[in-house]
Amino acid sequence: MSDLQPSRLEKLRIVEGFLRHQLGQVEKWIAEEQQRQAEQRRGRERRPPVPDWVLEVGIGAGKPPVAVHVGGCHMSGKRVRGISRDEARHALTDGVQACTHCRADTELGVLE
C-alpha cells in the first residue's frame, strides 16, 4: 500500500507547483494594479484645470442661468460651464443668484 502513496518529496513538489501558480497570479494582479494606478495618475495630470467661476444653467429651451458658483463648488450641478470673472460679475448684476454655499457674490465683491 505504501507504494501507491506519493512520497514526501512528491507531495512537496505538488505544493511547490501550486505555490508557483499562486505567485504567478499575484504577480499578474500586481501588474494590473500598477497599470490601473498609472492610468489614474495620467488622467489626473491631463484633467483640465477647474475654472475660477462656473455658471449653472437650468433645463429646457434656452437653458436659463440658475446660479453662479466659485469653481470647484460642491453644490454646482452637472449643467455648468466655466466663465470669466467679468462674466460672473455681469451674471450676478443681471439677477442670477449666487450659490449660498460658496458665496460667489462675496468672493467677487458683488453684494446685493
Half-sphere exposure of 5 (CA within 13 A, CB side): 4
pLDDT interval class at 17 (50, 70, 90): very high
Does residue 46 carry a pLDDT above 80?
Answer: yes
Residue 40 confidence (pLDDT): 97
Closest CA to 69 of 109, 34, 102, 35: 102
Band (109; pLDDT cuts 50, 70, 90): confident
Task: Give the Å distances, CA to CA, from 14 to 7, 11, 23.
Answer: 11, 5, 14
Q: 33-45, pLDDT tens digit by residue? A: 999 999 999 999 9
List pLDDT tens digits, range 76-88: 888 999 999 999 9
Strand blocks (E) in the chain: 53-57, 65-70, 80-83, 97-98
* Global pTM exceeds 0.75: no
Confidence of residue 2 (pLDDT cuts 50, 70, 90): low
pLDDT at 112 over 70: no
For residue 78, the SS3 value is coil
What pLDDT shows up at residue 62?
80
Instruction: Order the strands of the 65-70 sheet from edge to edge.
Output: 80-83, 53-57, 65-70, 97-98
What pLDDT does 85 receive? 93
CA dihedral 88, 89, 94, 100 (to 10 degrees): 70
